Structure 1
Amino acid sequence: MRIIAIILVATITLLLMWGVWRQPASLTPDPDLRLGAAGTVAAGPGPYLVGVQPWLDQTHYHSAAALHDRLSAYLAEIREETGVAPGSIIVFPEHVGTWLVASGAPRSAFTAKTTAAAMSALVAANPLRFAAAWLGSGEDDRMAAAIFRMRAEAMARDYQAVFSALAAEYRVTIAAGSIVLPGPRVEDGVLMAGEGPLYNTAAVFHPDGSIDAQLVRKSHPIPSEAPFTASWPAEELPVFDTPAGRLAVLICADSWHPDLYQSVRALGADIIAVPAYLQPSDVWNQPWGGYTTGWPDDADPDDAGRLSEGEAWQRYALAGRLGSGGADYGMTAYLRGQLWDMGSDGTNIAIAGETVFVADGLDGAALTLLPLRPAGD
């Protein structure tokens, strides 16, 4: 009996320790916004096309509330400096929603030194759900796919909660960066995750906080995404009606490819938003390595190594292709910060016609405001 009692006590102790270990982290994010001078391309009454380049680390993802508060702090800076004119469009960066995969994870996931260790902690806290998702995943990177599938329902809910609240609070249209979800769809005004392939997905939120029924899915996944995300046909790109005009959203690498601009022109978009995420740190001024998503016919292979990464973004991405899409305005916004062992680079690029503004020299957060001509003017 004594042995049974000892085993029972040990089991209860382990279960209690497990319960404490897997509790969500209560880490306090650094309040420093890392914000350089806000860049206003030209003075105007608005509305504005605004690129938000936030500085984020993993502590901003321990809950949806933490991410909301961080992003809201950047919008509050805009409101304090210039006001946010009705009809403004706010562009957030690629994958700003993807890291909600970690929301509610155990504290060890946020104190881990690497993303691999953080995801291992997330899996260890949800072994049965991970096993079920693993069995339902057939992608080359099966572990990544399974992690996103097991967290998909919560991620979709948190992503909508964050950006719906921001859009309604500031009364703006938001191109809400992107998030990785399986079979994403909007049903009765709710973002849902379903069955099928994973897509790098962007949603647009209207000034009343509602999510648009249409979703953008990336057509040209880069090599780090391709093992677990699928490609979406370029000809199925949607366009969004906003108070400032018709908006198209091209997710990062898609902005480098002519097939997407053909779709934009056919849709009659006035404005193009590009949520972007560039890795690793300090790559902006390094020699460009060339296309990793297939070379289009109009790109010169000799530019690989001849141009810097930043110069290539200006020649072959939105800044160099806006006119081919028939749009008048464009904004590329980058995700910056240090997420575990993942650094980042890039700086906002705003385009009005043939005029290009690059917020150079900002190794941190940035807010770039480009005045728009109101729709109908």
Structure 2
Amino acid sequence: MPRWLVFIACIAIAALAGWSFWRALPAPDAPVADPIVVSETGTRSGANLIAIEPVMRVEDYTSADAFHARLADYLEAAREAGVLTPRSIAVFPEHIGTWLVAANAPRGVYRASSVDGAMIALIAANPLPYGGSLLASEEPDRAAAAIFRMRSADTAAGYQRAFSALAQEYEITIVAGSVVLAGARIEDGAILTDADGPLENISAVFAPDGRVHGALVRKAYPIPSEAGFTAAASLDDYPVFDTPAGRLGVLICADSWHPDVYAALGDAELLAVPAFLQPGDVWDAPWGGYVTPWPDDVPRGDAGHLTEGEAWQTHALAGRLASTSARAGITAFLGGSLWDMGSDGAAIAVNGEGVHTATRTSGGQVVVMWVGD
């Protein structure tokens, strides 16, 4: 064998050995838990809406078990505070399940300093599956679409496993935030995906016995950062869920700013809004206006005059509940910093008596609104 060929073979073997070692490095340990503040509004009764606002970090997405453990901290804090009842509905934030796309990945994914870096590491660890998904993806942002499409089946399984277990362990109804999946559907009690289907931002609702309800909520108004890889869903056959606390409607983040989504909810008695607001420190900044189509009932002059937080309380759930059949609703925001993504927001609870906005803290929050019998 020629020397140059031996030399190339040695380099290839060394590179493969290095790659295998890098892939085999253990995932980082879970971070120390943040303090959790439990607050309540209203008079204690049989039913409540609970906004779970966890501080999430990349280490919480190393596996479905790590994810489950972090979220269980918040439900355990609620149980210790005595606020969980058989008629509790816990609402988790938007995109809390989306980052399970990184579960069981090589260490480099979690050590990346940016989302782009994490995506590159995930692609490098799965070159052939990624290539196939890239060919199947026709979205404007094909690179991002291919990653979520490639990992959809595993993401759906981890998402359902974690939230089903939490609902069953704590015997409550759970609005499981949201997750990006391809061709998501429910068959025989399982959330399944189709690699050739559209990518959508979806939310599932789990019953106190751990079963997933038979319909998925699909986001109708993706914001620009999502629109490159997720499709806008139709409002036809928009689901409303029967729960022990009453008929429940779910609006995913930006959908709560649009009157046609509320109209699609029909006779819902309670409303839940999983939300995710970026970047960090935007809550008190001037509101820039709608990044989705501007509804006719919102004055354009409010842009620049309201803060972001004031706009959430004026034009989203808090300002629109009175126009619906619902008696109460709650919005839960994602906390923490994932890679280079900051987050902001404070839970908003609203009923016929007014609006309660949670005090913002540096730790996690559990915000309880009692909604009567």
**Residue aligning to 1:135:** 135
Deviations 1:154-181 (A, max 9, x none): 0000000110010000001000000001
Please list, as runs of the form range in 1=range in 2, the aligned pairs for 1:1-16 lying within 5 A after superposition.
1=1, 3=3, 8-16=9-17
Taking structure 1 as the reference length, the TM-score comes to 0.95
1:325 aligns with 2:314: no
**Aligned pair count?**
371
For 1:177-216, list aligned pairs within 5 A: 177-194=177-194, 195-216=196-217
Aligned-residue Cα RMSD (Å) equals: 1.5
1:27 and 2:28 aligned: yes
Whole-Å separation in 2 of the counterparts to 1:23 and 1:328: 52
1:23–1:105 Cα contact (<8 Å) kept: no
Q: Is the Cα contact below 8 Å between 1:25 and 1:105 reproduced in 2?
A: no
Identity within the alignment, %: 50
Equivalence map 1:358-369=2 (5 Å):
358-369=357-368
Query: Normalising by structure 2, what TM-score?
Result: 0.96
2:152 matched to which residue of 1?
152
1:34·1:55 contact (CA, 8 Å) conserved in 2?
A: no
Instruction: Indicate conservation of the 8 Å contact 2:83/2:368, yes or no.
Output: no
Greater shift in the superposed pair: 9-18 or 70-79? 9-18
**5 Å matches for 1:1-377?**
1=1, 3=3, 8-23=9-24, 25-35=26-36, 37-194=37-194, 195-264=196-265, 266=266, 268-374=267-373
Distance 1:235 1:351 in 2: 26
Deviation at 1:325, TM superposition (A): 2.0
Higher alpha-carbon deviation: 357-366 or 21-30: 21-30
Cα shift readout 1:71-113 (whole Å, capped 9, x = no counterpart):
0001000111114111210000000000001111111111111
**Cα pair 2:246 2:269 within 8 Å, conserved:** yes
Retained in 2: the 8 A contact 1:200–1:229?
yes
Structure 1 moving runs of 4+ over 6 Å: none
Specify the SS of the correspondent of 2:216: strand
Deviation at 1:24, TM superposition (A): 6.6
The one-letter code of the counterpart of 2:214 is A
1:125-182 deviations in whole A, cap 9, x for unaligned? 0000000000000110000100000000100000001100100000010000000011
AA at the equivalent of 1:259? D
Contact persistence 2:239–2:249 (CA under 8 A)? yes
Shift, 1:222, TM fit? 0.4
Aligned-pair distance for 1:10? 4.2
Q: Is the contact made by 2:27 and 2:106 (CA closer than 8 Å) also made in structure 1?
A: no
Q: Encode CA deviations 1:210-265: one digit per residue, 9 max, x unaligned.
A: 1111000000000111111111112331000001101010000000000011112x
C-alpha separation in 2, matches of 1:114 and 1:261: 36
How many Å separate the matches in 1 of 2:366 and 2:211?
24
Shifted more, 3-12 versus 117-126: the winner is 3-12
**CA displacement at 1:19 relative to structure 2:** 1.6
Partner-residue secondary structure (3-state), 1:90: strand
Residue 6 of structure 1, CA deviation: 5.6
One-letter code of the match for 1:189? G
Q: Which amino acid aligns with 2:284?
A: N
C-alpha contact (below 8 Å) 1:24/1:62 kept by paired residues: no
Structure 1 unmatched runs, 5+: none
What are the superposed Cα offsets for residues 25-68 of structure 1, whole Å, 9 maximum, x if unpaired?
42112222242x31100241432210000000111111111110
AA matched with 1:330: G
Letter in 1 for 2:339: W
Is the Cα contact below 8 Å between 1:33 and 1:74 reproduced in 2?
no
